[in-house]
Amino acid sequence: MSKAWRVAVHQFTGLVLRRGFLLSILGAPLVLALILGLGYLTGSVLRTNHRPVGYVDQSGLLAEAVPAPVKGDPSKAVEMLPYASEDEARADLESGEIQAYYVISADYEETRRVELVYEKSPGENARREFWDFIQINLVADRPPEVARRAALGSSVWARFPDGSREFPPSPTLGLFFPLLAGFAFLYLVFSTGGQLMGVLVEEKENRTAEILVTSISPGQLMGGKVIGVVAANLTMLLGWIAIGLLVFLIGGNYLGISWLQDVSVDGPTMLKLAAVLLPEYVLIAALMAALGASLVDSQEAQQVSGAMALPAMVPLWLAMLYIENPDSPIGIILTLLPGTAPMATAVRTSFYEVPTWQIACSAVIQTVCALGALWLAGRAFRLGMLRYGQGLKLREILTKRKTLAAAGGANE
């Protein structure tokens, strides 16, 4: 075990201390931050206009207008200016005094007809505040508290029957953490696979592996390499989490991005997801290592590594078949199967409570398969050295003494 640990530490430090590792940690969060920044710029700045809005009331509805309750910063509320005629409103619009004006038709109570006139599209905040203004005046004859509540609208929260989880009326990023974890898993699978295959194929090509196995067993060597690469990529994941927390802090508290505010993590849900993702990650890493040990050159390894991530995409393609039905057989099967379990679990836990027994069964299946894959990787590595310059087939890896004898004879 100490030898495997030394291999793991060597592999881990070799990856983490590379310049490209730091770029990998910073690259994905910076792209995400750029997307969020552009979204904030276009959604909160370019589509916001605090200049006054005019209205021409031909129905008499707003003869004694009541101001709408302010939902945000009072200093940023849009002022509603009444006009006696469209000519006056149009003159102020052309001079830039107002950003737009509304014309409320004389038969508004029957037709609900309202015309919006502008030279440049008004801010979305102005549109919302005008309709709040209309609503509060439609119920102005009601008691003040009733009118205010009607104007503010409803706020519906969805909760599980047992109260274990709830969904706010305006979704926040915290609700999508399981899905984000699933996509992060896919990225790590590609990254890990490429690293493992590259290292193993390179050591086979320059025959470094033959020197290593003189002092360590193939199983310990492969186990150490898999652990080292997995640990390096999990370190990358922790770096993403740290940068993500910084993005939430800045975006939610200082930029005021609503879906980055009050972000909470459902601990039990994330623990269930981790119980499936971690052993599945080791499983795929070990399978990648086995493929790297059985292939001949790096070009072939790159072609195969992409195909290994395809099973993880199946739950996304079939999501509509089980996302609305918690007890769907296809959803349960995809949650249990190696390869499809990570994304299926991520999708299902994002929308409803997955039974604990399904998570437990899936975690056990992934763990057993991961141990088997580590054994397979060690055996493939041992045979790959004996078959220098030749590829291996699965049947040859699983066959015991005859394969070793044949491989030794071929190598001679």
Give the mean pLDDT of 20-42. 66
DSSP secondary structure, 22-52, as one string: HHHHHHHHHHHHHHHHHHHIIIIITT---S-
Residues 85 and 175 in one domain: no
Residues 58 and 147 in one domain: yes
Q: In the 8-state DSSP scheme, what is residue 146?
A: H
Residues 258 and 384 in one domain: yes
360-403: pLDDT as tens digits = 999 999 999 988 888 887 777 666 655 555 555 555 555 654 44
Residues 346 and 203 in one domain: yes
pTM value? 0.58
Q: 405 pLDDT exceeds 60?
A: no
Name the residue range of residue 261's domain.
163-411
Q: In the 8-state DSSP scheme, what is residue 169?
A: S
Q: 207 pLDDT exceeds 70?
A: no
* Residue 40 falls inside a structural domain: no
CB 392 within 8 A of CB 384: yes
Residues 149 and 169 in one domain: no
Q: Which residue has the higher pLDDT, 327 or 84?
A: 84
277-310: pLDDT as tens digits = 888 888 887 777 777 666 655 556 566 666 667 7
Residues 186 and 283 in one domain: yes
* Residue 19 falls inside a structural domain: no
105-160: pLDDT as tens digits = 988 888 889 999 998 888 888 888 888 888 888 877 777 677 666 666 666 666 66
CB 256 within 8 A of CB 161: no
How far apart are alpha carbons 229 and 304 in whole angstroms? Answer: 18
* Residue 13 falls inside a structural domain: no
* Residue 11 falls inside a structural domain: no
Q: 259 pLDDT exceeds 70?
A: no
How far apart are alpha carbons 390 and 300 in whole angstroms? Answer: 12
* Residue 31 falls inside a structural domain: no
Q: Which residue has the higher pLDDT, 377 or 355?
A: 355
Q: 412 pLDDT exceeds 50?
A: no
Record the tokens describing residue 301, joined without a space.
Answer: 């390894």
* Residue 239 falls inside a structural domain: yes
Percent of the chain scored above 90 by pLDDT?
Answer: 11
Q: How many domains is the chain partitioned into structurally?
A: 2
Tell me what the pLDDT averaged over the chain comes to. 75
Residues 129 and 175 in one domain: no
Question: In the listed set 153, 171, 202, which residue is the last one of a domain according to the structure?
Answer: 153
Q: Which residue has the higher pLDDT, 206 or 221?
A: 221
pLDDT of residue 363: 92
169-184: pLDDT as tens digits = 565 666 677 777 778 7
Residues 181 and 112 in one domain: no
Residues 139 and 168 in one domain: no
Give the mean pLDDT of 1-20. 76
Residues 129 and 206 in one domain: no
Residues 267 and 242 in one domain: yes
* Residue 202 falls inside a structural domain: yes
**How many CB atoms sit inside 10 A of residue 186's CB?**
16
Tell me the residue length of the chain: 412
pLDDT of residue 402: 46
Q: 410 pLDDT exceeds 50?
A: no
